[in-house]
Amino acid sequence: MLTKSITAFGRSLTLVCDGRCDKAWGINHRPHVQLGDGKDPDDYCWIPDQELGEAPRDPGTYEGGHGKPSGEPLTDPGRMNKWCFRQCERSDSFEPGEPLVVPDLSNPRPNNFGFRKH
């Protein structure tokens, strides 16, 4: 697990990720299965890592001019950037004192049940 202290929305947070940029599609581009009757676009479940190939090096999304870090696996937490904070489905951020947990994309849960991303 990689960690980096950041300031976001005026708060001190810890950004965590598993460093698997090769499997990072971005929250809006990761392949998923639609659940329910399809009327709620947020009722879906991402496809597990083991059923997907590698993600695109550039998924075409940017945050504050930052794109997905290149190079796999990510071993230097200093390379984590705004894309990692806002777009990467493999990262999450935590308030001081909260337990740090990396999203488990080998067994993803439905989006409407416990998804923390901002």
Regions of the chain where pLDDT drops below 50: 114-116, 118
Pair 60, 29: CB distance under 8 Å: yes
Predicted pLDDT at 118: 44
Per-residue pLDDT at 67: 95
| 10 CB-near residues (< 8 Å, 6+ apart) | none
The whole-number pLDDT of residue 72 equals 65
pLDDT at res. 37: 84
**Residue 52, φ and ψ in degrees, nearest 5:** -115, 155
- H or E segment and range at residue 91: strand 91-94
pTM of the model: 0.84
Q: Determine contact, residues 55/25, Cβ cutoff 8 Å.
A: yes
Closest CA to 29 of 68, 55, 54, 52: 55
Bridging pattern class, strands 11-17 and 32-34: unpaired
The reported pLDDT for the residue numbered 46 is 92
Our CA angle for 18, 31, 40, nearest 5°, is 115
Question: What is the pLDDT at residue 39?
Answer: 84
